[in-house]
Chains A and B, each alone.
Chain A
Amino acid sequence: DAKTTQPPSMDCAEGRAANLPCNHSTISGNEYVYWYRQIHSQGPQYIIHGLKNNETNEMASLIITEDRKSSTLILPHATLRDTAVYYCIVRANQGGKLIFGQGTELSVKP
């Protein structure tokens, strides 16, 4: 499974868009990009995943660069409840084990 690099922490003002970057320069052609988040002392929660096209759901948008070496998770209107650690994971769609890195600690401030 490819390794990912994320900034350790970011701040965002409440109501503004939060853009969380992730580098995955060694990603393989059959590997997807997944995002999870973990609110303090809870189990992680799935957010979104994609292969090469941009994806959007009710929680967030995922933008993957054309060369697939990096991606950005966008929370369009961050709220205080979005304060969490966000994990970017790259893995195969079938059979790939789920490995977490250190993630980005996002603090949404009033």
Chain B
Amino acid sequence: DGGITQSPKYLFRKEGQNVTLSCEQNLNHDAMYWYRQDPGQGLRLIYYSQIVNDFQKGDIAEGYSVSREKKESFPLTVTSAQKNPTAFYLCASEDRVNTEAFFGQGTRLTVV
């Protein structure tokens, strides 16, 4: 089945450690996105990529990094520079014509 997969579903890390969230899609989509969602809030764009080997900062990129070495994969690293990393992280992908974006089930990151 085609789809977009985020792993893990829950992640716990100690403060000061970098952590990488996985996002994989087998939909042959060109564009991929990372969002952060805090309780009771909407989605805020962290990074997005329209094509392999290219990506752009979203509204809240500070403290995060990404790579897009393969079309299928768009991992997000939450670095120790991110002041408040505990949040729900969502990954999405869509084709070049932007008809419909597909979302993963999210990763809930807790930093203690």
Query: Which residues on A are within 8 Å of B, measured CB to CB?
Result: 32, 36, 38, 41-46, 49, 85, 87, 91-103
New contact pairs (18) apart from A43-B92, A97-B45, CB-CB < 8 Å = A36-B101, A42-B105, A43-B90, A43-B104, A43-B105, A46-B102, A87-B43, A92-B98, A95-B50, A95-B98, A96-B98, A97-B48, A97-B58, A98-B92, A98-B94, A98-B98, A98-B101, A100-B43
In the assembled complex, the CB of B107 is this many whole angstroms from the nearest CB of chain A, namely 11
- Contact mask B27-69 → A, CB, 8 Å, 1/0? 0000001010000011111001010000010110000000000
- Complex contacts, A92 vs chain B, CB 8 Å: 98
Known: A41-B88, A43-B103. A98 touches B97 (CB 8 A): no
For residue B45, which residue of chain A has the nearest CB? A99
Decide: B101 and A94 in contact? CB cutoff 8 A.
no
Decide: B97 and A94 in contact? CB cutoff 8 A.
yes
- Complex contacts, A101 vs chain B, CB 8 Å: 42
Known: A95-B50, A100-B42, A101-B42. A44 touches B97 (CB 8 A): no
For residue B90, which residue of chain A has the nearest CB? A43
Decide: B100 and A46 in contact? CB cutoff 8 A.
yes
Decide: A46 and B101 in contact? CB cutoff 8 A.
yes
> At the interface, yes or no: B13 with Cβ under 8 Å from chain A?
no
For residue B6, which residue of chain A has the nearest CB? A43
